Chains A and B, each alone.
Chain A
């Protein structure tokens, strides 16, 4: 009974719990409650993933209204994996949150913060779960609106501007999305993904569907920060509270990438999206450009949080190259990197949170000699950095392996070479920090710094440890990703 309703429970529970956080008033109480909820959600996502892996696709009709009239939640290997990832990050980040949030936000706003956090979690989980394109829009708005609020709560006034910038771009993206969905509805009269995939087949070459396709490509690309539609991201990540950056960097763009593959592999189908309209010819160059431009820009950042934000844009580039390869290997690379990048980038941003707590800054020049003062935090940064570079035995290597293999299978040699060369730029920006942290004596802000508290170190190292664990034994992540890739390649149309 309980297990049967898992797909909806994991969304209803945080949704209903969010307002309770407001009522709890005291910041400690609302945090403890949010933490409890997030771990319950995580447990449910684990059960769900387990069931999907054992039994295959789960179909859940909301209120027992059968599709296509009612809303259908459809969970296969792809979105079960994404849901698991979002819930995992949501739970671990909350574990880390109290010290960082209490120090960065005024006391009265903390309970609202946790409310927004849970709602954002709900939105992201919903986007990944639902099998209805309009329901997806609703969850997209829930997650977007709450993330604007979360970013705006940053300690710096520049956070307001960053949030506004994101609001404008995000709204454009969401509007394009809903226009695209509207056009599809016009042609087919349905909003259910499977039904859409089937009914679109006869009308694929109509102008309306072509326009819908274009709106959807641009709209979703905006949300996932595909180069050159990434402009909202660096400021949003740099000025948001540390916890928010860590949470959003690991989940928001990832869920959007999931939506992208769901639409263009699932609903439109590979034959239409990639053979007829050659979407790959658009994604691969843009992905590669993103890898190089964003990585190079990252090299010149003085604020490390911003540097990591640019690195995120580059990493989105890797994932979109994988999408553009249109093969099981390419999609496996994308899905496995979805997970891998989330884990490593979250660990890195959590390390930033520790620096901000102790130093009040994560400017490169303020980190002189931090390796001596905060060795455990800095070691986590190095672990995440090695993973970004893609050193063997870290998760970054696994992603690179599948991606290059995918390019080789297609015979795209230059792409394979460029992917590898791109990853070398990461060495430069990671090593700038390593050199400052280890090759200087602590001076200025670092002179009196002490190690971050255990309540922050443990969650951070959970994720940093995961970058090694899933890099040494990648059979679980790559196995699930491969199953997901096979599901996606098959498409949704019966």
Chain B
């Protein structure tokens, strides 16, 4: 398969799966098997692009002109390669986990769920491959719209409210800021292609550059920079597989990926360093890192806490982009992978606890380590990776981010990173500590059916959920030892 075909096939495979899922919806086993096989095939196809990118030959494909002069075009460069691999690879794992969760949790309308799930993957891959800003914007919006039915899956008034905030913030930031920024860029530079070294040098004055950067940074609502972060906690009303894959990996990473890509290929690192246009963004990102961590500590609902943790971790990547030194950019790029594995593990665990024990609040999770040892063990691994402790993958990305902060002389952000790690410990570790070292709560606190809470012995979630979460936890460890290939893959983007 030529690389051009691979691009097309990997985009169309999940999309083509949607109608098939719809057709065989009445037979859940067939439907879920198709979903799984489509995931495998998609990942396999994305993987065939990897050797080309490693050799420095970036596969490109231009489909047709949307508007005269602006095509729907794809070009797989290292950042997009990484993001594409992460999104499609974790789709397989989430697919398995999703089957376990949706059945274990007796969710309705599972066909609709898997339909839009597959659709969202196409949108995420489109963002990853985009060769110009318009293509990226198109898939960015598609991702917002295709995940709306997933967020509001429960169709309860609460889901409706969550959906409104989700759509409201993501659409308004993207239309009011991002689209304006895209059009401004087109007007100023005459092109929208992502070009190494950027396209804006000499085209926009320095003061305007600040504004344009602001439009891009805040317009990318999916990057969840404060104060446009509220949609992410709101999206937690979705079933946990959605929170895991989309709101810890695909959607949010599409946001920070956009920021990274715009800073590297539209502004260009040199331009940012020469003009200092991104200094204010460092402070906004640094502030978001700390504030979101502080808010996370106040949340008793596990998914809400993880959501704020995600907001904080996303800003690491924005910070890396804003620091605009090679090490920081690479650290940001690596953090896309490292955080993906860590956070998806944590969400998987939250979902497993919910399915097995019907617990969502951290204060109710005392002593559950005895009932769910595997899940809680994976939770520890995931937490350590998010905190950035060796031997977990997360330690590398934080190392490079700190290195980047030193390189650019912004030592204050080394401090921010360290404080944030401490805060991470403070809000993540109480969960396993409570699970392993406290005595179980009396059954009377339970809402839902109390029968599950009386289990003294092993009471894990279904195997289809436990295996995926152990797998991603293992991934966190493996990435510590195999961070080299990721680093080498990303390296060309800063040279």
B-binding residues in A (CB < 8 A): 386, 389-393, 398, 400-401, 404-405, 408-409, 416-417, 420-421, 423-424, 427, 431, 435, 438-439, 472-475, 478-479, 482
From 176 to 215 in chain B, residues with beta carbon under 8 angstroms from any chain A beta carbon are 176, 179-180, 183-184, 186-187
Asked if B66 contacts A408 (CB within 8 A), the reply is no
Complex interface: chain A residues within 8 A of B145 (CB): 386, 391
Q: Which of B64, B171, B179 has the most CB of A within 10 A?
A: B179
Asked if B142 contacts A393 (CB within 8 A), the reply is yes
Residue B34 interfacial (CB < 8 Å): no
Interface string of B156-180 (1 = CB under 8 A from A): 0000100010011001100110011
Add 15 more A-B contacts to A401-B183, A472-B66, A473-B66 (CB < 8 A): A391-B145, A392-B141, A393-B138, A398-B66, A404-B179, A404-B180, A405-B183, A408-B187, A409-B187, A417-B180, A420-B180, A424-B172, A435-B160, A473-B65, A475-B67
Q: Which of A390, A398, A475, A482 lies in contact with B175, CB distance below 8 A?
A: A390
Q: List 16 A-B contacts (CB under 8 A).
A: A391-B145, A393-B138, A398-B67, A400-B179, A401-B183, A404-B180, A404-B183, A416-B180, A417-B176, A421-B176, A423-B175, A424-B172, A427-B168, A439-B155, A472-B64, A475-B68
Asked if A479 contacts B152 (CB within 8 A), the reply is no
Given contacts A391-B141, A392-B142, contact A431 B167 (CB under 8 A): yes
Given contacts A474-B67, A475-B68, contact A392 B137 (CB under 8 A): yes
Asked if A439 contacts B187 (CB within 8 A), the reply is no
Asked if B180 contacts A478 (CB within 8 A), the reply is no
B162 to chain A, nearest CB (A): 12
Complex interface: chain B residues within 8 A of A416 (CB): 180, 183
Asked if B175 contacts A420 (CB within 8 A), the reply is yes
Q: How far is the CA of A40 from the CA of B138 in the complex (A)?
A: 38
Given contacts A391-B145, A408-B183, A408-B187, contact A424 B176 (CB under 8 A): yes
Q: Which of A400, A405, A439, A472 lies in contact with B160, CB distance below 8 A?
A: A439
B24 to chain A, nearest CB (A): 18
Q: Which 9 A-B pairs have the closest CB atoms?
A: A392-B138, A408-B187, A392-B141, A404-B183, A420-B176, A475-B65, A424-B172, A439-B155, A439-B160
Measured CB to CB, the nearest residue on chain B to A392 is: B138
Complex interface: chain B residues within 8 A of A408 (CB): 183-184, 187
Given contacts A390-B175, A392-B142, A424-B172, contact A478 B67 (CB under 8 A): yes
Measured CB to CB, the nearest residue on chain A to B138 is: A392
Complex interface: chain A residues within 8 A of B184 (CB): 408
Measured CB to CB, the nearest residue on chain B to A407 is: B183
From 77 to 94 in chain B, residues with beta carbon under 8 angstroms from any chain A beta carbon are none
A243 to chain B, nearest CB (A): 31
B255 to chain A, nearest CB (A): 16
Asked if B187 contacts A405 (CB within 8 A), the reply is yes
Complex interface: chain B residues within 8 A of A482 (CB): 68
Measured CB to CB, the nearest residue on chain A to B179 is: A420
A335 to chain B, nearest CB (A): 14
Complex interface: chain A residues within 8 A of B64 (CB): 472-473
Complex interface: chain B residues within 8 A of A439 (CB): 152, 155, 160
Q: Which of B66, B164, B186 has the most CB of A within 10 A?
A: B66
Measured CB to CB, the nearest residue on chain A to B187 is: A408
Q: How far is the CA of A210 from the CA of B483 in the complex (A)?
A: 75
Complex interface: chain B residues within 8 A of A400 (CB): 179
Complex interface: chain A residues within 8 A of B167 (CB): 427, 431
Complex interface: chain B residues within 8 A of A435 (CB): 160
Complex interface: chain B residues within 8 A of A479 (CB): 68
A402 to chain B, nearest CB (A): 8
Asked if A474 contacts B152 (CB within 8 A), the reply is no
Complex interface: chain A residues within 8 A of B176 (CB): 417, 420-421, 424
Asked if A405 contacts B186 (CB within 8 A), the reply is yes
Asked if B171 contacts A427 (CB within 8 A), the reply is yes
Q: Which of B67, B145, B167, B180 has the most CB of A within 10 A?
A: B67
Measured CB to CB, the nearest residue on chain B to A472 is: B66
Interface string of B286-303 (1 = CB under 8 A from A): 000000000000000000
Q: How far is the CA of A423 from the CA of B174 in the complex (A)?
A: 12
Q: How far is the CA of A417 from the CA of B187 in the complex (A)?
A: 15
Measured CB to CB, the nearest residue on chain B to A471 is: B66
Complex interface: chain A residues within 8 A of B160 (CB): 435, 439
Complex interface: chain B residues within 8 A of A421 (CB): 176
Measured CB to CB, the nearest residue on chain B to A438 is: B155
From 128 to 160 in chain B, residues with beta carbon under 8 angstroms from any chain A beta carbon are 134, 137-138, 141-142, 145, 152, 155, 160
Asked if B68 contacts A478 (CB within 8 A), the reply is yes
Complex interface: chain B residues within 8 A of A473 (CB): 64-66
Q: How far is the CA of A456 from the CA of B266 in the complex (A)?
A: 47
B146 to chain A, nearest CB (A): 11
Q: How far is the CA of A400 from the CA of B179 in the complex (A)?
A: 10
